[in-house]
Amino acid sequence: MRGCSCREALSSRCLCACSSLKLHRVGQASGEAARIHKNLSTVACLSAVKMTTDRELSEEGQCSTAVFTSHGVDITPRKDQGVLKVVKRPGMETERPMIGDKMFVHYTGKLLNGKKFDSSLDRKEPFTFNLGIGQVIKAWDVGLATMQKGEVSLFLCKPEYAYGAAGSPPKVPPNSTLLFEVELLNFKGELLTEDGGILRRIKVKGDGFSNPNEGASVNVHLQGSCAGRVFDSRDLCFVVGEAVDMDVPLGVDRAMDKMQKGECCLLHLKPRYGFGREGKPEFGIGPNADLVYEVTLKDFERSKDPWEMHVTEKLDLAVKLRQKGTQYFKAGRFQQAVIQYQRIVTLLEMECGLKPEQQQSVHSLLLVAELNLALCHLRLREYSQAVENCNKAMELDGENEKALYRRGEARLLRNEFSLAIEDFQHVLEVNPSNRAARTQISLCQRKIREHHEQDKKTYANMFQKFAEHDAKVGRLRKRKEECGGSNENRGLGIKRRHRSQECP
């Protein structure tokens, strides 16, 4: 027998463990026997390593570096021995964390003299951070990227990968080499939206600190897949905010302002940010499908920020954005319309001290933008946002009929019937011939009556249940009292019989 495959990597203890398996090499040995030998040898070797590391690290509480010398793997990109790793317990055979992922870990940190300086276990709460973006020491960004879920590993970290020459007073002295034991409990991608509709996982980190903005021109390579099937793979250019024109879903468009040049990421998109209820028949995508896009941002050119533009440039751009927003609205692409109208607000809301004609143009464009935003949010069933846009429109024109009516609609759909009636009555004050407002008032009044009737039924059922409960409790109490009285009478009868027997 030539010896186990771990000979050069492990200590003599490992060789002894392997030889104890008593598997002999025979010239005509079958492939199956060789495979069994390899698997059993690996298990024995890993067990020997674990026993060795546990013993070396536990002797008199001292954190020995010997285990890293004999079993440690240099995981630094430059192979400078700055971070050495030893796996104590392998994790699940799953994918590893990516840059930006949210990590959930337990850890214990020690100095080389064995003194513990920090531990999440003492706090009885996992530690969380985002990987690869400088939220933790460099050794952790390097080391934890190599782990799998459920894995427990030891890391020996040189000062330049830990707290450096400054240390972390008072617990970590300057120029300290540190030992960490880390358990990776879980990890998940970065959520780019509050509703969890876009989840990003970065495969390759980009360069610099600049990101595309609204209106930027981007050059990307993208590959879209659904249920493991690739349905789109191409290089293309598009304008951020208008990706739908190139059959690119909203989720990819909305992720652009988070990316950097050279970045490659995976975007997991819920249907709202994919192709929605309609699907995409030309790509073979059905309704309400989850999508995964791999996107590489090859290059981009930012659009001008508002502070870089003259007022005439802003006004010209605002007119184009209004036209684009109206185009999207008529096509039923309300989320894309919101992007265009919101850009108008961002462009113009801080403008002041202008010539009268320019100020009037700004005022008109802002009012139209807020009114159209309210209408889009009504279509998207985002009623609170619709109310907010109507309020902003009324700051520009307090008697605006459309703002009052749309706010009334949003309040009606939020079951705020009294407030909705006030808005519709205000509409009639502005325009007494508005028949839609009268109809809405009647609807609100009917809804109020229906809710009152429903409340009556609810309270009646509630009081009925209370009454039934009280009656049941009363019956039980009465039965208990009756049982108690009969027991007491029975006891008196027994006492009398005893006395009669005792009498001469």
Beta bridge partners of 223: 233, 294
Active site residue 104: no
Active site residue 238: no
Place of tokens 């265009």: 340
H helix or E strand, kind and range, residue 428: helix 417-430
Out of 137, 202, 285, 344, the active site residue is 137
Beta bridge partners of 221: 235, 296
The beta-carbon contacts of 431-439 under 8 Å, at least 24 apart in sequence, are: 431/401, 434/401, 434/405, 436/405, 437/405, 437/408
How far, in Å, are 103, 116, 257, 260 from residue 202 at the CA level? 14, 34, 14, 11
How far is the C-alpha of 260 from the C-alpha of 335, rounded, in Å? Answer: 24
Out of 118, 245, 247, 257, the active site residue is 118
Question: Where on the phi/psi map is residue 215: left (φ > 0), alpha (ψ -120 to 50), or beta?
Answer: left
Active site residue 127: no
Provide the token pair at 67: 């285990």
Report yes or no: 303 and 230 within 8 Å, Cβ to Cβ. Answer: no
Out of 107, 161, 300, 405, the active site residue is 107
Active site residue 161: no
Q: State the pairing for strand pair 229-239/264-269.
A: unpaired
Beta strand spans in 158-290 (E) = 178-188, 190-191, 198-204, 217-226, 229-239, 264-269
Report yes or no: 4 and 45 within 8 Å, Cβ to Cβ. Answer: yes
Out of 180, 293, 383, 417, the active site residue is 180
Active site residue 163: yes
How far is the C-alpha of 382 from the C-alpha of 121, rounded, in Å? Answer: 43
How far is the C-alpha of 181 from the C-alpha of 127, rounded, in Å? Answer: 13
How far is the C-alpha of 95 from the C-alpha of 405, rounded, in Å? Answer: 53
Out of 163, 187, 273, 329, the active site residue is 163
Give the phi and the psi of residue 186 in degrees, each rounded to 5. -170, 165
The widest CA-to-CA distance across the chain, in whole angstroms, is: 127
Active site residue 137: yes
How far is the C-alpha of 149 from the C-alpha of 186, rounded, in Å? Answer: 6
For the chain, the straight-line distance linking the first and the last C-alpha, in angstroms and rounded, comes to 106
Out of 74, 75, 104, 117, the active site residue is 117
Q: How many CB atoms lie within 10 A of CB 43?
A: 12
Q: Nearest-CA neighbor of 21 among 46, 35, 4? A: 4
Provide the token pair at 63: 């954190």
How far is the C-alpha of 253 from the C-alpha of 213, rounded, in Å? Answer: 11
Query: What residues have CB less than 8 Å from 430, skipping those under 6 apart?
Result: 399, 401, 404
How far, in Å, are 104, 149, 182 from residue 185 at the CA level? 5, 6, 9
Report yes or no: 261 and 238 within 8 Å, Cβ to Cβ. Answer: no
Burial of 409 (0-12, 13-18, 19+ CB in 10 A): buried
The residues annotated as belonging to the active site are 107, 117-118, 137, 163, 180
